[in-house]
A and B are shown apart, each in its own frame.
Chain A
Amino acid sequence: MIWVETIVNGLLLGGLYALVGLGLGFAFGVMRIVNVAQGDFIVAAAFLGVFLLPWTPVHPLLVIVPVAVLAFGLGMLLQWLLINRVLGHDQIPQILLTFGLAIVLRNGMVELFGANTRSINVGDLRFMGFDFVGLKLGVLPALILAIALFLFATLHLWLRKSNMGRLIRATADDYRIVQLSGVDFRSIYAVAMGLAMALSAVAGILLAMRGSFTPYSGADRLLIAFEVVVIGGLGSFWGMFLGGMVLGVTQLVALKLDPASGLMYGHIVFILILIMAPNGLAGAFRR
């Protein structure tokens, strides 16, 4: 029974991991851009959450709203001011640019806030539990999974149905040709990056509520996001969700067996999947 509980908890964690990957995967799907600074932005969002928490009315969980809005604006600025300037056939300049940003951001946070471990305090919610067919589960992890599912579904529907969603999909298909319809792909890219950052920011806040973070957590966050996207099959929407689940379950099972292993077994599973199904799990099923 304890193993079933571990696996179910892994699935709950996996939903959050999927959300961590969603921002990275979405940006890649639309723009073929990999924002290497995404992990450090996720941590920055958590810091922002810590500071906005005292001013958050009703419930601490609602801090995700202002942080997501700010992250959206920041993402647009990032795209307009920096990444749009180095777009081109070659990916190296934008990857190096975001790598440089990651270094600045990470060390800036150490400088400003110190290297201490922190978390976002959600009060009693963190310790509340419930019984589910005999399993003892946490309310917060379940709530987080629900939020992740909701965001996946909403983004999916919004891309299908809305005007802006249509333009984003068209731009993802062919950014040169959308211009012939009067669409400035740079603006679409800015919106997409804003969304990617907002999604990542929500993931960052939720991670900081479930667990803890330091200014150095960005690298691990980026690796999780990256593994979720690759396992999911580079841009496959629900594949990413599956990727998050795989990593979440792996990590919790591994921590039970070998408490000091950290993310190692998650990394190993990633490499194994890369060996056995190079197109990701989604690709493996499609074949």
Chain B
Amino acid sequence: MTGLASMRPTLVGIAAAFATGLVIATPWFVAEGNMRLMIEIFAVFAFAQGWNFLAGYVGIMSFGQQLFIGLGAYFLFLASNWTGANPFLILPLSFVFSALFAAAISPFVFRLRDAYLAISIWVVAEIVRLFISQRDALGSVSGLPLVATREMERSLVATSSFYYAGALALISVFGLYYLSISRLGLALAAVRDNEGTASAIGINVWWTRFFGFVLGSGFTGAAGAVYYMSVFHVEPGGAFDPNWMVVMLFIVIIGGVGTVEGPIIGTAIYFLFRAWFAGTGNLYLMLLGSAAVLVMLISPRGIWGVVKSKSGVDLLGARHASGLEAAAKKSRTIS
């Protein structure tokens, strides 16, 4: 068993190489329409993993990650439209821009904690949404098209978007895995579990949280850019829609917060639900909400947390005993 455990990073590496090959080969045998759906799935999965990283690994809960989806998308659209540059080349800069924005707001939102921190990021998202909605130069409420893609060949656009989305999905799984076993990952886990102990063993709590927040938010920004690039249009009501949070929360909570594998299950369930209930409009959102409530009442660790504890299966071995698990234990023993 220990032999297998020590070989795990190598095995995960082989799996990563295989998955990468699969993503590279996909455009040759998947129709363009299906590829579009896959881009969406990958991007939404990346949104969810970005939030999962913050909540489950860094210990920062945010109700405002739609801020970075919108920022990443708007940066890409505006930069490309203004300079006429190829959006595929600008895309990595969306990560940088979103990360810088996260860095700029952390000094004051970090003064609040827990739910207050979560909502203050949402307030920032609202400010940006309202600001963009009133500026004609930024497309106001009706939004912006992505001009540069008009002259490009459709299949090239689809394939390029797909590769970006695929890269995001691969990073969401394997990047998160390797990050969680790295030095930074261990520091993050220490800070998340107990700030006092973490600082006692020489970890700078503030900078560790800051770095985690910047990294996770930048990633969400890049994913937002990919998502909206693939639909060629962005508007403030959609990009900064708080319902993005509903989707992220649903996927992560159902699957299991603080696990690499959980959100994969969560994403699958989310898209199945959507296919089945999309016609029902609000009922479908109510279903997502009640599922979140039920999971919190029955098993805050989510589906993957339960599967793992019942069967002992642990694919990646990178599950972080999340604060939720500790809370679940405590709520039973609390008196």
Whether B331 lies near A100 (C-beta < 8 A) is no
Contacts of B55 in A (CB 8 A): 92
Mark interface residues in B290-302 (1 if CB within 8 Å of A CB, else 0). 1111001100100
Tell me whether A270 is interfacial, beta carbon within 8 Å: yes
Q: Which of A122-130, A200-208, A257-265 interfaces with chain B?
A: A257-265
Minimal beta-carbon separation of B18 from chain A (angstroms): 34
Binary contact track A170-193/B, C-beta < 8 Å → 1, others 0: 000000100100000000000000
The stretch among A50-58, A61-69, A135-143, A226-234 that forms the contact with chain B is A226-234
Name B243's closest neighbour in chain A (CB-CB).
Answer: A103
Cβ contact within 8 Å between B289 and A101: yes
CB of A275 within 8 Å of the partner chain: yes
Complex Cα spacing A176 to B333, Å:
12
A107 to B283, CA, bound (A): 7
Contact A100 B289 (CB under 8 A): yes
Partner of B134, one of A96, A111, A260: A260
Q: Which residue of B lies closest to A264 (CB)?
A: B130
| Residue among B114, B119, B292, B297 making CB contact with A226, cutoff 8 Å | B119
Q: Quick check: is B118 within 8 A (CB to CB) of the other chain? A: yes
CA–CA, A267 and B118, complex, Å: 15
Interface string of B302-335 (1 = CB under 8 A from A): 0000000000000000000001101110110011
Contact present for A230 and B116 (CB under 8 Å): yes
A45 CA / B156 CA spacing, docked (Å): 53
Measured between alpha carbons, how far is A90 from B257 in the docked complex, in Å?
Answer: 13
Within 8 Å of chain B (Cβ to Cβ): is A211?
no
> Is residue A85 contacting chain B, with contact meaning CB distance below 8 A?
yes
**Cβ of B187 < 8 Å from any Cβ of A?**
no
B76 within 8 A of A: no
- Is A97's beta carbon under 8 Å from chain B? yes
A223 within 8 A of B: yes
Min CB gap B118→A, angstroms:
7
Closest A residue to B109 by beta carbon equals A274
Query: Which residues in chain B, 96-134, are within 8 Å of chain A measured between CB atoms?
Result: 108-109, 111-112, 114-116, 118-120, 122-124, 126-127, 130-131, 134
Contact with B along A71-114 (1 / 0, CB 8 A): 00000000000100111111111111101111111111011000
Q: How many CB-defined contacts (below 8 Å) exist between A and B?
A: 146
In the assembled complex, A167 has its CB within 8 A of some CB on chain B: no
Count how many chain B residues have C-beta atoms less than 8 Å from C-beta atoms of the other chain: 49
Query: Does chain A have a CB within 8 A of B249?
Result: yes
CB distance from B64 to the nearest CB of A (A): 11
Contact A34 B115 (CB under 8 A): yes
Q: Contacts A96-B253, A99-B63, A261-B130 given: A108-B282 contact, CB under 8 Å?
A: yes
B285 CB contact (under 8 Å) in A85, A107, A176, A219 = A107
**Which parts of A202-221 form the interface with B (CB within 8 Å)?**
219
The reply to whether B331 and A87 contact each other, CB–CB distance below 8 Å, is yes
Chain B nearest CB: distance from A124 CB in Å? Answer: 35
A271 within 8 A of B: yes
Q: Which residues of chain A from 237 to 287 have a CB within 8 Å of any chain B CB? A: 258, 260-264, 267-268, 270-271, 274-275, 278
Please give me the residue from chain B that is nearest to A179 by CB atom.
Answer: B335
**B118 adjacent to A93 (CB under 8 Å):** no
Other-chain residue from B109, B242, B283 in contact with A219 (beta carbon distance below 8 A): B242
What 7 pairs across the A-B complex have the smallest Cβ distances?
A103-B289, A100-B292, A90-B327, A34-B115, A104-B289, A264-B130, A100-B293
